[in-house]
């Protein structure tokens, strides 16, 4: 929020900055607080963001069993993908022209809902059912 306020304040022309200084002085506040109150005037509601850090360490489910640990049988290919696990390598994406895009990718396997690996040469239709 401080970066946004500084950006707005620094992008104001000198005459508008003087007007804001005058209003802030009259209200007994700062220009930053005045800009912040103008930004918040049109918004309502509140937002709360919560997250859990992904540490790669074992976590427990409701029954006390380990889940999501690297190298365990309980880790599915989908969960490993979401957690960013797997060997990383540079992949080239080429559409058949002389131009190619090099991206850093994570190699993994496609699995069915019953955690069976899809064989090599599977169709795109089979892959979408995983």
pLDDT of residue 72: 47
Tell me which of 46 and 62 has the higher pLDDT. 46
Give mean pLDDT, residues 4-18. Answer: 84
Question: Does the predicted model carry a pTM greater than 0.85?
Answer: no
Residues paired with 106 in a beta bridge:
88
Under 8 Å between Cβ of 12 and 20? yes
């Amino acid at each position: 929020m401080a970066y946004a306020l500084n950006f707005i304040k620094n992008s104001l022309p000198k005459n508008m900055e003087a007007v804001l200084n005058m209003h802030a002085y009259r209200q007994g506040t700062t220009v930053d607080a005045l800009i912040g109150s103008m930004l918040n005037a049109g918004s309502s509601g509140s937002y709360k963001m919560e997250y859990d850090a992904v540490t790669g360490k074992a976590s427990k489910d409701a029954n006390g069993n380990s889940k999501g640990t690297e190298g365990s049988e309980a880790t599915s290919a989908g969960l490993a993908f979401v957690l960013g696990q797997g060997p990383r390598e540079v992949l080239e994406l080429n559409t058949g022209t002389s131009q190619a895009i090099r991206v850093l990718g994570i190699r993994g396997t496609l699995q069915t809902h019953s955690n069976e690996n899809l064989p090599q040469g599977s169709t795109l239709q089979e892959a979408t059912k995983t």
